[in-house]
Chain A
């Protein structure tokens, strides 16, 4: 058990190390350099007579005047301290600051959305996989398939248009309306209400269009499980249908889906970029979206670090948790 833990944690560090090294080195093999590019653009708008020294100055601040290996070492030295350098666009601001402010928004939005989609989706999948479910349910399968196959963030536009633009019942963008909150005396309740109102539409998109994948996975697992010999024997034991379905079918079919859930939660930071951008939600996704449009390279790579970290953490979590939920898998 202890050796397993140690080995698994070492593996986690190895994944984080390799993945980040790759994302650090490979892009730098491409010719070009984001700082020069940025300053070139500035130069066009607002000519600086001492352009050369300006560039040198900037490069020194960002450390890109050093040889690659030194930059690489500095990257790791900074990363372990949570320092990913500065934003190019909003210069004195650090990358960590920009991401740190946005992170709680993303985690809140996406974890609630993912969990709700998971709950609805797996229940629906379980119902669809149940041999005795009403026939009419079967027509949900192609619907779920189509919904699950289309990138869900595309529906953001439709939802914003209907609920925010045409009906005007929910805010179309942002995470909280501070003006409203202040008018109401900045109470906790006012804040919660405003946050919930802003999160309602993105979460709606998550749930309505995220259930497809969960539902289909669960259904497929359940169909497989219901074909197992132990289900036949459970029937031979004279157990009632409902108990077989829940305790022998759904329970066993759920195990692999839980792994997928952990992975999905690990993908939180990366997975919501497009959704957050569509809703201008103040999370990491929007920060990344803005950084990409402004070609703020260090913010992008800092965000990538967090994406890698969170998905590696999820993998670690799955491996540590799985033996607890599935007795067949042991720590070894």
Chain B
């Protein structure tokens, strides 16, 4: 969907640190040779085993070679082996990965087969045997052998990246513009694979250095013609340098190796953050900031709760000025803004709104379950007078499920996949009601399942053994097991087919009656919703634009948006063109001032674009947020005819629903 290409984030500290370490090592090994005489120092003409002094900065080894000089010449060789290995492995991996991603089928299968197979073969075992057989293998042959074993890893990472990129819109556009596959490949795909390539390259260099060094230390590499950090370690080991206490011999190469690896590591982890900025949120500093914000908002809500107005005696749940914001890399997304409403005991309230209007965010916040990047900035949610937003954690925990329960939107994924369903009810029962006898427990669990028409032996099963509808019921069984006073049901029937949908809804409504609980039912299907609820709240761009008894909304909605929703609804008596609402809901990031519905509203006035409409009550028991009030008492008729050409221009062709569906 994103039209603009992923914008690279700012350089991060890890990247800089990594580059600085490696850069320093490279610079060191480029500059120092100018000042020292290689032949002189490496020929072993110094006395052996001399401690560091002014002539031999790091002393000499047992063969009388200057350790500092050896180091200066060994470090670049080690890096070189890594880079060569990395390049070979990466070029082959890239070639195969891009081919496999772009032309799925045979090549894809082959790459996968080889890489799966290589997992099973220990690389070091093969290399050992292979290199041992060679007489005086050149370091490049070794690099090549290592790369042969490592390319499939890169190939697979690149393949999946290419596959994702291929799906992207701008590539389809390029293709529909008549560009050839290969042209698309080089023009559109490769530039976007590049950051991943770099990350893979660093990984391959790392692997190359590590493996080559292991072979060197083991003595598989000819020791005479070549100089490297690994070989320095080899000689130390061979000559017992550690036991002789020659720390100046083995210490420096190990330090240098450690630095090289640390540098590569910082580079690759910085690279990953660079490629995928979302990862930045997991660092220590980010975590500290998040924790501080949560604390700060909680303190603010507590302070505000002190001076709050007394709770409404009639309501079981009262939401006052609830505000939730998602802190994203691009900026704050205000997903829930000053939402207020109340629910009476035993009442059924519906909350509707388009996808992305903030329904789930609001419901989650109402139980103070919001997790970063979502923050509840302010607001109160009074459950029988207690403010859930400011009470201590422990008190809140005891209220959850027992007094206020939630059937989450993704209720398919709400069950722990590796725990039996029965155990998932049991732990909730134990936590809230204490230990009980086995028989009593069984009875309670069976009862909970009975409430949602599930057989008791479902308790012995794991979630994956149930159908989608059964999982949704099982989640509902957990939610109602303690007979809560308030149930927040977030699209409890989404992702189910129509028949099952209806059955699940019926179950929920029967439960609500039996338990006498208040329910907040969330959905975006206004037709389904109106059949089940007493009061309806309409959410638009995170604002509750209208809240009223359902008949009132059906008969004379006050807000233009709700009216248009109703008008688009086919009914028994009105079989008519179903028109969508032209335009798109606004982006919540950087929302312009004024009424968020203004761009789509047929009644829009100048004032609407500048000033946010306040929530007001033109009639008792109703709320609306629109500048038409209080100067109007009802909404004027929709200029529907004027709308139609615009609708057609938008490409939204009116549909006529057949009678049967419309009447359902």
| A binding-site residues for B, Cβ under 8 Å | 15, 18-19, 22-23, 26-28, 30, 32, 34, 37, 131, 135, 138-139, 141-142, 145-146, 149-151, 154, 157-158, 160-161, 164-166, 172-173, 223, 227-230, 232-240, 243, 247-248, 251-252, 255, 267, 270, 273-274, 277-278, 288-289, 292-293, 295, 297, 300-301, 303-304, 307-308, 311-312, 315, 326-328
B117 lies within 8 A of chain A by Cβ: yes
Q: Does B214 lie within 8 Å of A327, measured CB to CB?
A: no
Main DSSP-derived SS at the B contact region: helix
Q: Quick one: which of B125, B210, B242, B364 contacts A165, CB cutoff 8 A?
A: B242
In the complex, chain B residues whose CB is within 8 Å of the CB of A311? 120-122
Residues of A within 8 A of B418 (CB): 251-252, 255, 326-328
Given known pairs A139-B284, A150-B257, A277-B217, the reply for A238 and B124 (CB within 8 Å) is no
B224 CB to nearest A CB, Å: 14
B125, B369, B406: which contacts A270 (Cβ < 8 A)? B125
B135, B242, B406: the one contacting A236 at CB < 8 Å is B406
Q: Are A304 and B128 in contact (CB under 8 A)?
A: yes
Q: Is there contact, CB below 8 Å, between B402 and A238?
A: yes
- B210 contact from A23, A151, A297, A307, Cβ within 8 A: A151
A141-B122 CB under 8 A given contacts A27-B133, A293-B219 = no
- The residue of chain A having its C-beta at the shortest distance from the C-beta of B290 within the complex is A131
**B371 engages A32 (CB within 8 Å):** no
Question: In the complex the two chains form, is A151's CB within 8 Å of B214's CB?
Answer: yes
Q: Which A residues lie within 8 Å of B132 (CB)?
A: 27, 34, 292, 295, 297, 300
Whether A34 pairs with B133 at a CB distance below 8 angstroms is: yes
With a CB–CB cut-off of 8 A, which chain B residues contact A297? Answer: 129, 132-133
Tell me, yes or no, whether B293 is within 8 Å of chain A by CB: no
Q: Are B264 and A149 in contact (CB under 8 A)?
A: yes
Q: Give B436-467 as 1s and 0s: 1 = Cβ < 8 Å from A's Cβ atoms.
A: 00000000000000000000000000101000
Is B287 an interface residue when CB atoms closer than 8 A count as contact? yes
A sample of 6 inter-chain contacts (CB < 8 A) reads A149-B206, A297-B132, A300-B132, A307-B125, A311-B120, A311-B122
The answer to whether A238 and B398 touch across the interface, beta carbons within 8 angstroms, is yes
Chain A residues with CB below 8 A from B213, complex form: 151
Q: Are A277 and B247 in contact (CB under 8 A)?
A: no
CB–CB A274/B218 < 8 A: yes
Q: CB-CB < 8 A to B431: which residues of A?
A: 237-240, 243
Are B126 and A270 neighbours in the complex by a CB distance under 8 Å? no
B251 neighbours in A (Cβ, 8 Å): 157
B576 within 8 A of A: no
Query: Which B residues between 217 and 261 are near A, CB-CB below 8 angstroms?
Result: 217-220, 233, 236-238, 242-243, 245, 247, 250-251, 254, 257-258, 261
Q: Which of A166, A240, A303, A327 contacts B397 (CB 8 A)?
A: A240
> How many of chain B's residues touch chain A, expressed as a range?
35 or more
From A164, A223, A233, A312, residue with most partner B Cβ within 10 Å: A233
- Confirm or deny: B511 has a beta carbon within 8 angstroms of a beta carbon on chain A: no
CB–CB B414/A230 < 8 A:
yes
B: residues with CB less than 8 A from A are 117, 120-122, 124-126, 128-130, 132-135, 206, 210, 213-214, 217-220, 233, 236-238, 242-243, 245, 247, 250-251, 254, 257-258, 261-262, 264-265, 269, 282-284, 287-288, 291, 364, 367, 369, 371, 397-402, 405-406, 408, 410-411, 413-419, 427-428, 431-432, 462, 464, 475, 478-479
Separation in Å of the A293 CB from the closest CB of chain B? Answer: 4
In contact, B265 and A300 (Cβ under 8 angstroms): no
The minimal Cβ–Cβ distance linking B346 to chain A, given in whole angstroms, is 21
**B120 touches which of A19, A142, A233, A274 (Cβ 8 Å):** A19
Q: How far is the CA of A237 from the CA of B475 in the complex (A)?
A: 11
Q: Which residue of B lies closest to A14 (CB)?
A: B120
Is B254 within 8 A of A32, CB to CB? no
Task: Choose from A27, A150, A308 the contact partner of B121 (Cβ within 8 Å).
Answer: A308
Contact B129 A146 (CB under 8 A): no
Contact A236 B401 (CB under 8 A): yes
Q: Is the CB of A27 within 8 A of B130?
A: yes
Known: A236-B401, A278-B237, A328-B464. Contact between A23 and B129, CB under 8 A? yes
Closest to A273 in B: B218
Contacts of A292 in B (CB 8 A): 128, 132, 218-220
CB distance from A161 to the nearest CB of B (A): 6
Instruction: Establish whether residues A223 and B282, one from each chain, have CB atoms under 8 Å apart when the complex forms.
Output: yes
- Let me know if A237 and B401 touch, CB within 8 A: yes
**A239 with B214: in contact, given A32-B134, A37-B135 (CB under 8 Å)?**
no
Separation in Å of the B294 CB from the closest CB of chain A?
10
Tell me the bound Cα distance from A285 to B135 in angstroms. 22
A166 to B245, CA, bound (A): 8
Q: Is B126 in contact with A22, judged by CB distance below 8 angstroms?
A: yes
> B238, B254, B283, B398: which has the most chain A beta carbons within 10 Å?
B254
**Is B126's CB under 8 angstroms from A229's CB?**
no
Are A327 and B464 in touch, CB under 8 angstroms?
yes
Return chain A residues, CB-CB under 8 Å to B242.
157, 160-161, 165, 172
Most buried by B among A15, A237, A247, A328: A237
Choose from A172, A252, A288, A307 the contact partner of B122 (Cβ within 8 Å): A307
A289 touches B218 (CB 8 A): yes
Chain B residues, CB < 8 A from A301: 129
Residue of B whose beta carbon sits closest to that of A15: B120
Query: What is the minimal beta-carbon distance from B504 to any residue of chain A, in angstroms?
Result: 17
Please, how many angstroms separate the alpha-carbon atoms of A30 and B264 in the complex? 34
Q: Is the CB of A157 within 8 A of B245?
A: no
Of the residues A150, A154, A172, A233, contact of B475 by C-beta under 8 Å? A233
Once bound together, how far apart are the Cα atoms of A160 and B520, in whole Å?
Answer: 67
